[in-house]
Amino acid sequence: MNTSQYEAPGSVDEAVALLANAKGNARVLAGGTDLLVQIRMGMADPALIVDIKKISEMTTVTAENGGFRIGAAVSGAELNENAAVKSMWPGIVEAMDLIGSTQIQGRCTLAGNLCNASPAADSVPAMIAADMTCTIAGPNGRREASVGSIATSPGKTSLADGEIVVSLFVPAQNATGGDAYLRFIPRTEMDIAVVGVGVNLTLDGNGVCTAARVSLGAVAPTALLVDDAAKALIGTKVDDAAMDNLAAAASAACNPINDKRGTIEFRTKVAGVIARRTAAIALERARSN
């Protein structure tokens, strides 16, 4: 304990070089809401901590191709205060805002939530539903990856040694699209999702759904993109029959564990219920756009 080197580089290149030289025994510090708890509990004792909050590319939200590029160190509070992002992608911002308390929101980040690779991460189904991608920097340069490809199992990611998420990109929302995220928890605040659902859908001029993405969290080792659930909506007016099919497809996709927060049966049933409620909000938003 207490022997870590601390560096706060001013550029992504410097951060990558530091991580490359540390040969795997390094951790990136963005908000620290997972890392500092792990250090305190003895689950992490990195030789090097690389604080990314002095890298301007990683601390800013910028408009790009009609959407937004969100730096890896942008906090939940900053995202929530960004009226442009919140207006275009309310589901993503609401999912992020569900994480922890006001104090946690002051520090926690989308990229941290993604790379912590919890199956119950609230922001991840919302980001997958929005078809978000991330820019990753490493010893071999930069690459792009879909948000859904980052977590590979609980606590594990597809990032190679020395790689770091620099930013996340959310594309422009369709003019008649809407997104939403809901989770089930047994109380009203400060809890971890038992089931989480992100829905993003687009309507045509007749109110027919032309595109949809549905993602489930906390019901499998990683967040799922459920094509069958999207197909249940596409080509319909998102009526009761479509909602029934959506709920059935969501429940069918579940592969959850039994734990103190929910049984397999409960999670499977509730996934359908929450999918329906989330889709109803996304539908309302799409209709009003």
Partner 1 sequence: MAKHHISTTINGEPVEFLCETQQTLLDVLRDELGLTGSKEGCASGDCGACSVTVDGRLVCSCLVLGVEAEGHSVETIEGMADGENLHPLQQKFLEEAALQCGICTPGFLIAAKSLLEKNNNPTETEVRYWLAGNLCRCTGYDKIIRSVLDVAADMRSA
Residue ranges that bind partner 1, judged by CB under 8 A: 1-6, 8, 29, 31-33, 36-37, 39-41, 49, 51, 53, 75, 77, 100-104, 106-107, 189-190
CB of 190 to partner 1, least distance (A): 5
CB of 112 to partner 1, least distance (A): 12
Q: Answer for the pair 223, 124: CB distance below 8 angstroms, yes or no.
A: yes
Task: Return the ∠ at Cα 45 (arms to 8 and 60), rounded to 5°.
Answer: 30
CB of 254 to partner 1, least distance (A): 28
Q: Answer for the pair 100, 109: CB distance below 8 angstroms, yes or no.
A: no
CB of 31 to partner 1, least distance (A): 8
Identify the sign of the CA torsion 18, 21, 22, 23.
Answer: positive
Q: Which one, 32 or 125, has the nearer CB to partner 1?
A: 32
The amino acid that residue 221 corresponds to is P
Would you call 12 exposed, middle or buried from its count of C-beta atoms within 10 A (0-12, 13-18, 19+)? buried
Q: Which one, 26 or 238, has the nearer CB to partner 1?
A: 26
255 is written with which tokens?
């592969």
CB of 121 to partner 1, least distance (A): 16
CB of 76 to partner 1, least distance (A): 11
CB of 194 to partner 1, least distance (A): 18
Q: Which one, 4 or 289, has the nearer CB to partner 1?
A: 4
In a 13 Å sphere around the CA of 54, the CA atoms on its Cβ side amount to 11
Q: Which one, 79 or 219, has the nearer CB to partner 1?
A: 79
Q: Which one, 77 or 208, has the nearer CB to partner 1?
A: 77
Q: Which one, 101 or 149, has the nearer CB to partner 1?
A: 101
CB of 99 to partner 1, least distance (A): 11
DSSP-assigned beta bridge partners for residue 203: 209
Would you call 137 exposed, middle or buried from its count of C-beta atoms within 10 A (0-12, 13-18, 19+)? buried
Beta-sheet strands, E only, within 53-208? 61-64, 67-71, 133-138, 141-146, 151-153, 156-157, 164-170, 177-184, 195-203
Q: Which one, 29 or 201, has the nearer CB to partner 1?
A: 29
Q: Which one, 69 or 107, has the nearer CB to partner 1?
A: 107
Identify the sign of the CA torsion 227, 229, 169, 44.
Answer: negative
Q: Answer for the pair 102, 200: CB distance below 8 angstroms, yes or no.
A: no
Q: Answer for the pair 73, 52: CB distance below 8 angstroms, yes or no.
A: yes
